[in-house]
Structure 1
Amino acid sequence: MLFLNLMIMSKIKQIIAWIAILGGGIGFFFFSLYAVDFMR
């Protein structure tokens, strides 16, 4: 049971990490677009 719990926790952490990485990448992409537009 403990092993199953740890597996579920690691899966949740992996999902959170992926969401954070994807969200950060998208946010950085939009920020760079905005910065280029702002600098013009």
Structure 2
Amino acid sequence: MKAFHENLSLKEACVSLGFLSEKEFDEHVIPGLMVGNRGHE
């Protein structure tokens, strides 16, 4: 909700909340794996 309400990217919100560093975010959040219909053929 922070990203939406404050018009931030998910990375910016995650870092500002102290959940992950920018490096950790980049290592764990892979947008290509979040889209599509993987595994549901």
Task: Decide: shared fold, TM above 0.5.
Answer: no
Bigger RCO of structures 1 and 2 (CA < 8 A, at least 6 apart): 2
More helix by share: 1
Larger Rg: 1
